[in-house]
């Protein structure tokens, strides 16, 4: 090659090399994503059975079916039940996330009252709320919408669970259900709040906001991502408003029945 011919050849070689690198990198990413989905699928199903048995025996102990317990043991059993509920809740998120990623999640929409579904969701996480004080503001009449009742409750339970995790013990959690133009369930906590920078990536998969105040908080990093995806499958959305140090409000919106 002459000197003026080397440069084009070199540039072409660099483009080909960059293209091959991107293909190789994308293949590795796809392989990792597949492995991650398979792990979620297997781990969630393998955990489900043992946790059901554990929760069953703990409930029997608490009820006294296996004999009388001392007051100290009774308090420990109550704590263990709360922790088993927490694990079961994470397993449920993993199962639903695996279904969503594999394209196996289909909604079974039914006419439902969002007020009643929210009440059921609160009862479903009563143990996880611990010493927090939930208060519900809701209309006197039904708020009708076509939703998948189970998936709708998953979203509300996730918002309540997060509010409890990121708020001081004994703090208030406000739940507001409304139906003016659109069905809304807003959950407001008195927690640590979220910066604007962190809000931008809050709904990404496997993302957890790491600060000194959240180091001891358990979770999968799937809850908010899964919740927003479920909301959008309902032609709705899930949004957040927050100020660091002053708490957060997460709002689930879904269309009302026509």
User: pLDDT tens-digit profile of 152-196?
Assistant: 999 999 999 889 888 888 899 999 999 988 999 999 999 888 888
Average pLDDT of the segment spanning 1-28: 69
User: pLDDT tens-digit profile of 90-115?
Assistant: 788 877 887 787 777 889 999 999 99
Neighbour-count burial of 159, counting CB atoms closer than 10 A to its CB (0-12 exposed, 13-18 middle, 19+ buried): buried
For residues 177 and 143, the answer to whether their CB atoms sit within 8 Å is yes
Of the candidates 138, 131, 115, the one whose C-alpha atom is nearest the C-alpha of residue 164 is 131
Decide if pLDDT at 233 tops 80. yes
Decide if pLDDT at 122 tops 80. yes
User: pLDDT tens-digit profile of 148-161?
Assistant: 999 999 999 999 98
SS3 content of the chain, % helix, strand, coil (to 5): 55, 15, 30
User: pLDDT tens-digit profile of 17-76?
Assistant: 777 777 777 777 666 666 666 666 666 667 777 888 888 888 888 888 888 888 888 888
Mention every residue, 6+ apart, whose C-beta is less than 8 A from residue 226. 93, 96, 97, 100, 154, 158
Antiparallel, parallel or unpaired: β 133-137 and 172-178: parallel
| Confidence band, pLDDT 50/70/90 cuts, at residue 220 | low
Least confident range from 11-25, 77-91, 181-195, 230-244: namely 11-25
Q: How many CA atoms lie within 13 A of 139 on its CB side?
A: 14
Higher local confidence (pLDDT), 135 or 98 = 135
Own/partner contacts of 55-62, CB < 8 Å, gap of 24 or more, are 55/81, 55/84, 55/85, 55/88, 58/84
Q: Read out DSSP for 168-219? A: -TT-EEEEEEE-SSSEEEEEE--S----HHHHTTTTSTT-----GGGTT---
**Nearest-10 Cα torsion for 15, 20, 23, 28:** -130
For residues 94 and 110, the answer to whether their CB atoms sit within 8 Å is no
């Amino acid at each position: 090659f002459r000197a003026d011919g080397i440069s084009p050849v070199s540039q072409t070689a660099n483009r080909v090399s960059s293209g091959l690198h991107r293909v190789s990198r994308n293949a590795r990413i796809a392989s990792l994503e597949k492995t991650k989905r398979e792990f979620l699928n297997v781990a969630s199903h393998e955990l489900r059975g043992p946790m059901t048995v554990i929760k069953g025996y703990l409930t029997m102990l608490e009820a006294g079916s296996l004999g009388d317990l001392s007051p100290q043991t009774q308090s420990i059993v109550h704590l263990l039940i709360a922790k088993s509920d927490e694990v079961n809740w994470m397993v449920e998120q993993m199962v639903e996330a695996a279904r969503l990623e594999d394209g196996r999640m289909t909604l079974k929409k039914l006419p439902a009252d969002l007020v009643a579904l929210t009440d059921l969701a609160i009862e479903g996480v009563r143990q996880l709320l611990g010493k927090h004080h939930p208060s519900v503001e809701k209309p006197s009449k039904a708020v009708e919408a076509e939703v998948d009742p189970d998936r709708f409750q998953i979203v509300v339970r996730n918002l309540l669970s997060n509010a409890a995790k990121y708020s001081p013990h004994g703090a208030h959690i406000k739940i507001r259900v409304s139906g003016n133009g659109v069905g809304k369930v807003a959950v407001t906590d008195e927690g640590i709040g979220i910066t604007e920078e962190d809000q931008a990536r809050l709904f990404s998969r496997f993302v957890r906001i790491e600060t000194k105040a959240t180091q001891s908080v358990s979770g999968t990093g799937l809850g908010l991502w899964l919740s927003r995806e479920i909301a959008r499958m309902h032609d709705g959305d899930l949004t957040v408003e927050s100020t660091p140090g002053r708490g957060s409000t997460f709002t689930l919106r879904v269309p009302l029945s026509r």
